[in-house]
Structure 1
Amino acid sequence: MSQARFTSCIPLPLEQKTLVGVIEKAKDWALMHGVGMRDRKNFTKDAIQIAPFVLLPSPFPRTEFNKAVELQQVLNELMHKVAHNDDFLEHTLQNALQVDEFTANLYEIWVKVRKEGIAQPVSLGMLRSDIMLESRCPHTENQCAKHTPYCSWKQVEINSIASGFGHLGPVSREIQSYILRQLGCGDLIKNMPENKALSGLCSGIIEAYDLFGVPGSVALFVVEEVSYNICDQRFHEFEISETRPDIIIYRKTLNEIFEEASLNDKKQLMLDDKVVAVVYYRSGYEPAQYPSQREWDARLRVEQSTAIKCPSIHYQLAGTKKVQQALAAPGALEQFLGAGAISGRVRDIFTGLYSLDFDDSGERAVEMALADAERFVLKPQREGGGNNLYGADIREALLRMRHSRERAAYILMERILPPLVSGYVVRPGGQVPPPLTDLVSELGIFGVIIGSKDKIYSNRQVGHMLRTKLADANEGGVAAGLGALDSPYLLDL
């Protein structure tokens, strides 16, 4: 059994003079259109460098892309219902809460807010469902070159907090369209799907703001102490400012919120004597972003307020890997979506997901992973990338914590084997021309949902993004420097 392979949209390799010339143009285009990030090694607020990008768009089956787009509204609704099912969250997370301090702190805020009485029943979900094509081809490599591989997609995860690349997703299509035109292949652009993720996500913030309904109120973006992925964040602000100049946006860290924000007697979140209507988190998804109790107190203060949160704390809990694993269990989806075709469509996208709890199924999962660690990914209850374990690291971790309750903070997921495609990755300060290498991709579909426990006001799919990495790399986060920006080139297989 071999890994399937797609053919690039134009013949490769490119002639070296052509390759060097188009990369030089593309780098300048990137810097002048916000395809950039701040340099982690030589940080300054006065400069950005290009974000890593793939020179040509990566092939993706049109039918599978359309299936992912069509299913996003169902996944939005599923996450919304899970977030509002207190019993399911408590039962699903109970073992992880005993050993994962970060998840336990989030859950403690949720319990406290519920006991006090929820001041704002409406939540804004700006979700991203990450998927990969599964293509375990039964042919030999030589045979694969002679036939078209069939691939179906499987879900990697759903991101419920700080679901980034609303700007970098659409602008990836724009830079690759520019590159194709420079190579005399502009006719191929029609096979790259339109991508309005930025305006779609920002429309969610605007809709939530209008639903809040307090004239003169403001929106608050919660950001890291240092924002490297600055273009992706700022273009959201620029889009909102252009569309709705009446909405003033503040950027504050959790520590600044602790120092500057307060609750009035109506439980409104006040900042500079202005009411905060919407709070959008671009930080707050990993333990390092809560270095002291001040940050946790700030998060609690926001959650206690009338502001519409993106996400509310229970949405973030619904995005944990433990919940993802629990939804794959028999009968779980039917609890939220009913028995029938819709639950079946969602179940079809799940790859193998296994609990590591201290029971018979958990022991079987440990034995499977120890016997063939390369088949799996070991995942903690985190978002943001760079947290998963692979191969020998899985075996080492499970042997270390086999008899410790620490293992209940993880889930085991079968590794997805996506098709390969040859391509060029352009990186800041990288080799020019870059080598032609084998690449694999992960597609993210964006969704917006607004609602309370009893009513959904809005639910839609709003765009996509594609991240691509070297085929032999485990992680693929662009902000972490491991992946590269890309966009899908749709194939009619």
Structure 2
Amino acid sequence: MSVPQPLLKKRKMSEGIKYLPLVIPLPLPEDQLKEVVEKSKDWALMHGAAMRSKTQFSEDSLQFAPFVLIPSAFPRREFMKSIEIQLILNELMHKVAHDREFLTSSLKETIKVDEFTRNLFQIYETVHDEGVTQRASLGLLRSDYMVHSSSTDKIKQIELNTIASSFGGIATHITLFNRYILQELGHSDKLKNLPDNNALEGLCSGMIEAWKLYDDPQAVILFIIEDVTFNICDQRFHEFKIREMNPQARVIRRTLTDMAERASLGKNKELIIDGCIVAMIYFRAGYEPGHYHSQKEWDARLLMERSRAIKSPSIQYHLAGTKKVQQTLARPGALEQFLCEPSKVERIKEVFTGLYSLDFDELGDQAVQLAIDNPERFVLKPQREGGGNNVYGLEVRDAVKKMKNSQERTAWILMERIHPPLSRGYIVRPGVSNVPELVDMVSELGIFGVVIGDSETITYNKQVGHMLRTKVSTANEGGVAAGLGALDSPYLID
């Protein structure tokens, strides 16, 4: 594909910064841009690509989620690679989650200083010492990548999410949205380069399979939700799709506090809430400290782990998704403990980026010095989910210096910073003009996977869809729910 002339000019001005090709000629004429943005906002609202406002919250109203008007270019070869290796990642994370010795050794330093991870680990040890009631686990995973600008432009993994892997519902609709916009702009010939996205159906199929495995048609699927849900459409899409796919399967929604106040275990350790037996639990909350207002919410989490309900994630899956475990897996020889085939190991190693421990040992001290000497080479990442927690640029040096001699540093990892190629496009946000500016952007690809099994066997292993989050190139964090990123679709280029 040839690079449009405006792009070539920009590239020369950028002194080595790489740009991906434009999908269509830009900028659009102002009149055309204004008209298509007006249509796009209405399309998003009418198809549920929306969220509740954080500034003017109301349960009775929605605003569209930020989106990229025209899909962003993404290398076809790397997209296909991310699809193909998801089954290996599913297998890897399932085996990691069921290796008590590995989890314990990986997290032994972190739990000394990170109270949240320590509380999770105490639940993990309690249920294992008592004897695990429900041996089956459901993993609804999302592996996130960025393309790293180099001579080969290969994807590198940012992280792998094992809890509340969101936006599968809305992402499915965003693919349809970007198809519509390309048609409106007269580019129907380009639709073939937008890959199909069945993330919603795939994730819901996994939940239904787990519900069936429980073998009680009267039991319900329980969504654990935040006290206030902003990302309501993405959650409800899952609920409504489950009912559509299997009319017998009923979904209920409860908070951790609801569970603390009204849930109990039956005589056979079945989980009961408001008169309903729970077959499977899907955690859309519980991944950050703020979701646990007091000890009673932690007691509720333990109660659920003790139950016969199939969890997504089970406590071991939750721990397997921590940043510290991710860093430990990047150590020499770690992958070989879980993947027997050398070809699988090499394929996973190819997408790993540099990850460094900050433990109090020789390697940890070396990583601390690396961060102080070259802070802009790295991202400092804590044991937190949900976006907005990482440290970038010169602030890395300040943060590492501050905790250099403190045990606190063992709760963080250091990751080589990925420098993705830029694209050009329009980001449309609520409350902003219908004539958005053409901006430089970077994108992060998420691949969804579903895995079901116990400590001995995997019975269900699928890659089920994708999402693309895009942000302006000057923004460090990119979470859509946090208000910094925008929903997008990959346009595959050769």
Shorter-chain-normalised TM-score: which range? over 0.9
Q: Which residue of 2 aligns with 1:278?
A: 280
Structure 2 residue aligned with 1:175: 177
Structure 2 counterpart SS, 1:136: coil
Match of 2:303 in 1: 301
Report the counterpart of residue 123 of structure 2 in structure 1: 109
Asked whether the equivalents of residues 106 and 317 of structure 1 are also in contact (C-alpha less than 8 Å), the reply is yes
Provide the C-alpha distance between the structure 2 equivalents of 1:7 and 1:14, rounded to a whole number of angstroms: 16
Q: Quick one: which of 243, 257, 260 aligns to 2:259?
A: 257
Q: Which amino acid aligns with 1:102?
A: F
Which position in structure 2 is the counterpart of 1:363?
365
Q: What is the Cα-based RMSD across aligned positions, in Å?
A: 0.9
Q: Residues 394-419 of structure 1, C-alpha deviation per residue, up to 9 Å, x if partnerless? A: 11111111000000000000000111
Match of 2:4 in 1: none
In 1, the alpha carbon distance for the partners of 2:383 and 2:444 equals 20
The structure 1 residue matched to 2:102, chosen from 88, 113, 121, is 88
Q: Distance in 2 between matches of 1:431 and 1:364?
A: 49
2:226 maps to 1:212: no
Deviation, 1:339, is 5.4
Gaps of 5+ in 2: 1-14
Aligned residue for 2:53, secondary structure, equals coil
CA distance in 2, matches of 1:386, 1:212: 37
Q: What SS is found at the alignment partner of 2:168?
A: coil
1:438 aligns with 2:452: no
Name the CA distance, whole Å, in 2 between partners of 1:336 and 1:32: 46
Partner SS for 2:109: helix
Q: Is the 8 A contact 1:3 1:417 kept in 2?
A: no
Name the structure 2 match of 1:2: 16
Q: Distance in 1 between matches of 2:401 and 2:434?
A: 43
Query: Which whole-Å CA distance do the structure 1 matches of 2:271 and 2:31 have between them?
Result: 58
d(CA) in 2 for partners of 1:123 and 1:99?
A: 28
Among 225, 234, 238, which residue is 1:236 paired with? 238
| One-letter amino acid of the counterpart of residue 333, structure 2 | G
For residues 163 and 241 of structure 1, the distance between their equivalents in structure 2, rounded to whole angstroms, comes to 20
Distance between the aligned counterparts of 1:295 and 1:387, measured in 2? 23
Q: Which of 102, 119, 130 is the equivalent residue of 2:144? A: 130
Show CA shifts across 1:59-111 (max 9, x none). 11111111110000000000000000000000010000100000000000000
Query: How many Å separate the matches in 1 of 2:341 and 2:459?
Result: 24
Q: Secondary structure at the match of 2:202?
A: helix
Q: Counterpart of 2:306 in structure 1: which amino acid?
A: Q
* Amino acid paired to 1:335: Q
CA-CA distance at 1:272 after TM superposition: 2.5
Distance in structure 2 (CA, Å) of the matches to 1:120 and 1:372: 47
Which amino acid in 1 is paired with 2:425? G
* Larger CA deviation: 226-235 vs 172-181: 172-181
Partner of 2:11 in structure 1?
none
Alignment counterpart, residue 28 of structure 1, candidates 42, 47, 52: 42
Shift of 1:353: 0.4
Cα separation, 2, equivalents of 1:78 and 1:405: 30
Letter in 2 for 1:374: E
Residue 194 in 1 paired to residue 208 in 2? no
Counterpart check, 1:473 vs 2:475: yes
Shift of 1:431: 2.9
* Aligned: 1:76 with 2:78: no
- Residue of structure 2 in register with 1:395 after alignment: 397
Contact 2:38 2:434 in 1 (8 A): no
Describe the SS at the equivalent of 1:424: strand
- Could you list the structure 1 runs, at least 4 aligned residues long, displaced by more than 2 angstroms after superposition: none
SS of aligned partner of 1:275? strand
**Whole-angstrom CA distance in 2 between matches of 1:20 and 1:50:** 17
- How far the C-alpha of 1:17 sits from its partner, in A, is 0.4
Quick one: distance in 1 between partners of 2:251 and 2:263? 14
2:158 is aligned with what amino acid? V
User: Secondary structure of the residue that 1:108 maps to in structure 2?
Assistant: helix
| Alpha-carbon shift at residue 273 of structure 1 (Å) | 2.3
CA distance in 2, matches of 1:151, 1:392: 26
C-alpha deviation, 1:178, in angstroms: 1.1
What are the equivalent positions in structure 2 for 1:404-423 lying under 5 Å apart? Answer: 404-423=406-425
* Count of aligned pairs between the two proteins: 480
Mapped partners of 1:338, 1:410: distance in 2? 30
Q: Distance in 2 between matches of 1:324 and 1:392?
A: 24
Cα separation, 1, equivalents of 2:290 and 2:121: 17
- Please name the residue that 2:5 is paired with: none
What is the CA–CA distance in structure 1 between the aligned matches of 2:94 and 2:63, rounded to whole Å? 37
The separation in 2 between residues aligned to 1:480 and 1:208, in whole angstroms, is 30
Q: Distance in 1 between matches of 2:384 and 2:91?
A: 22
Unaligned runs of 5+ in 1: 138-149
**Matched residues, percent identical?**
57
TM-score, structure 1 normalization: 0.96
Q: Tell me, in whole angstroms, the C-alpha distance in 2 between the residues paired with 1:273 and 1:430.
A: 47
Match of 1:354, SS state, is strand
1:2 to partner: Cα distance: 2.4
Distance 2:414 2:17 in 1: 22
Residues 224 and 285 in structure 2, CA contact (< 8 A), matched pair in contact too: yes
Alpha carbons 1:192, 1:487 under 8 Å: kept:
yes
Cα distance in structure 1, aligned partners of 2:379 and 2:163: 22
Residues 1:67 and 2:69 aligned together:
no
